Homo-oligomer: A and B are copies of this chain.
Amino acid sequence: MGSDRQLPDSINAGADGRFMTTIAARLAAVRDLLEQADYDALVVPRADEYLGEYIPEHKERLRWISGFTGSAGVALVLRDQAALFVDGRYTVQVRTQVPAELFTYHHLVEEPQAQWLAATLPRGARVACDPRLHSLHWYREMESVLAVAGIELVADTDNLVDRCWRDRPEEVCTPALLLDEAFSGECSSAKRQRMARLITARGCDAALIFAPDSVSWLLNIRGTDMPQLPVVQSFAMLDDTGEVTLFVDSRRLPDGFEAHVGEGVRVLSEADASGALGAYATRRVLADARNASAWIQLELSRLDAILVDGEDPVQLAKACKNAVELAGTRNAHCRDAVAEIRFLAWLDAEVDAGRLHDEAQLSDKLLSFRQQAEHFHAVSFSTISAAGANAAMCHYNHLNGVPARLSAGSVYLLDSGGQYTDGTTDITRTVPIGDPGPEVRRLFTLVLKGHIALAQVRFPRGTTGTQLDALARQFLWREGYDYDHGTGHGVGVFLSVHEGPQRISKVHNAVALRPGMIVSNEPGYYRDGAFGIRCENLQVVRECEDSVGETPVLEFETLTLVPFDTRLLDPALMDAAEIDWLNRYHQRVLETIGPLLQGSDKVWLSQATRPV
């Protein structure tokens, strides 16, 4: 997981002084425009116009204006000061990346931006934002908080950062892939009809399909511009007839697109959206105020559409994979397991031979194995390759500084995944380098016990991830430990490695787990300055066929087929049922993946899957 990126040389170049000068110059350029437009402040969010977690290079506006590379944050640029708001993950990082002479640092949650602006600016001030980069909910809230303070929020789509950004990277705009029904399991027109019926059931005439992964799923296309996230950057309107108006840069549509999607898909450029949205005057349009952009919804309102706030129905449909998708992702997981196992076997050999590589070399080596797999496109997220104490930082990225070398008597945490035409993977393994000692083994075992509890639970329909989360934590809790992240997120099939709407965490999530949903199962434990442990597999919800009672129950099938490192186990802490689960899982790994390996890799797997 983790999504920080290395600063390109153009920002990092040279000494800190030149960097600060660069940022100062950029702030000055933007402030000129503020003065010209009589704005008192500009909001620069990290988001792009799709409000997602992963954005293309040429949309890295927050990074351009401040140097900050975290996956969430907002800069407020005033005429004579600037403020950078980040959440708890990045309070250390922001201070290393963003010059304190130019920005003050604030906490996104503890100091809401709207209130800060209301307290800092005088009555009559004007705050500019690009409404394409914020949700409608954010916009309305900011607007009303500022209004109480007599401050105006101005929506300006002529983005001020874009107007100043010299040497801006070119937009990457390559043709999408057309996903064959052998991979999607359902043609686009059938999906559109299904979604149309859901729209009608919600009492609406149409829906804004805003998220690019929703659009990509609906049309069975995959993007190639952002390798980790194979979505086609676009949005669409879906009518209750099943007809789609797709707003996309036509350079992203390959030959054969029309035949692929069939009748009923009209293509327009995003620039033509305003004109087209007028067709929804007096119509009830389902749109997600919290997750879709302000601009589109403000336009729809301005053009007299009736906005009905609600989630895009594609999100839940996409979360429930069909049989073809499940068969495909099982195949992808086999190939991914081969790559991971070959890496783990290689790593053991290297350590035995006294060659202790660094985090970057290890990450690259793992990538090289994945690249040999059929249907592999790219990693599904920036690999977390964390040695020793680095693994205690949940959002560690070895590219942010100098990659550390493995050292004896520690553990190595590796969280990685791949995008394959038939599936998306995400796996974390924790590996001993030499003997990390009994304390690490004790905590590893408590983490694994929690993982096993969540892997083998059965639950009735209607059960949510929130209800299951404690199963993964209970053994850590018993001893006075916990982990400060969620237990499981949804995963797509050759789509986003982080999908909703379901989630397994302490945070209330009302979405019931349904057959076909893929979730991660990733408890962990992190000791500052010492070590980090995480045990992650992906698992899919299915109906249970062999329970005896009258209440139908669901269970999980594990998709990931890679051994957990039994050298880190303290078997005395496990009960018979847990040991049995582990041995049966390892047997399944051996039987499924063994035949796909050769030579020393196969031998390694036999040893790694020996019964405990």
**Which of chain B's residues have a CB closer than 8 A to the CB of A551?**
477, 480-482
| A510 interface neighbour in B468, B479, B508, Cβ under 8 Å | B508
Please tell me the number of chain A residues within 8 Å of chain B, measured between CB atoms.
Answer: 34
User: How distant is the Cα of A466 from the Cα of B507 in the complex, in angstroms?
Assistant: 11
User: How distant is the Cα of A575 from the Cα of B544 in the complex, in angstroms?
Assistant: 24
User: How distant is the Cα of A478 from the Cα of B556 in the complex, in angstroms?
Assistant: 12
| A480 interface neighbour in B480, B506, B550, B576, Cβ under 8 Å | B550
A12 at the interface (CB under 8 A from B): no
**Which of chain B's residues have a CB closer than 8 A to the CB of A510?**
508
A477 and B506 contacting across the interface, CB-CB below 8 Å: no
B477 and A553 contacting across the interface, CB-CB below 8 Å: yes
| A458 interface neighbour in B463, B477, B547, Cβ under 8 Å | B477
A467 and B547 contacting across the interface, CB-CB below 8 Å: no
Task: Give the distance to chain B from A556, nearest Cβ to Cβ, in Å.
Answer: 13
| A477 interface neighbour in B457, B476, B479, B481, Cβ under 8 Å | B457
A459 at the interface (CB under 8 A from B): yes
A469 and B471 contacting across the interface, CB-CB below 8 Å: no
A470 at the interface (CB under 8 A from B): yes
A548 at the interface (CB under 8 A from B): yes
- CB-nearest residue of chain B to A482: B551
**Which of chain B's residues have a CB closer than 8 A to the CB of A354?**
none
A549 at the interface (CB under 8 A from B): yes
B470 and A459 contacting across the interface, CB-CB below 8 Å: yes
- CB-nearest residue of chain B to A446: B549
A552 at the interface (CB under 8 A from B): yes
- CB-nearest residue of chain B to A554: B477
B575 and A480 contacting across the interface, CB-CB below 8 Å: no
**Which of chain B's residues have a CB closer than 8 A to the CB of A544?**
480
**Which of chain B's residues have a CB closer than 8 A to the CB of A577?**
575
Which A422-470 residues have C-beta < 8 A from chain B?
457-460, 462-463, 466-470
**Which of chain B's residues have a CB closer than 8 A to the CB of A482?**
460, 549, 551
A474 at the interface (CB under 8 A from B): yes
Task: Give the distance to chain B from A461, nearest Cβ to Cβ, in Å.
Answer: 10
User: How distant is the Cα of A476 from the Cα of B469 in the complex, in angstroms?
Assistant: 18
The 0/1 profile, CB within 8 Å of B marked 1, for residues 509-547 of chain A is 010000000000000000000000000000000001001
**Which of chain B's residues have a CB closer than 8 A to the CB of A552?**
480
User: How distant is the Cα of A241 from the Cα of B547 in the complex, in angstroms?
Assistant: 60
> With A508-B508, A510-B508, A575-B575 known to touch, is A458 a contact of B470 (CB < 8 Å)?
no
10 CB < 8 A contacts A-B: A457-B474, A467-B467, A467-B506, A471-B474, A476-B549, A480-B547, A480-B551, A481-B550, A481-B551, A575-B576
Given contacts A477-B553, A479-B548, A480-B551, 4 further A-B contacts (CB under 8 A): A457-B478, A467-B469, A508-B510, A575-B577
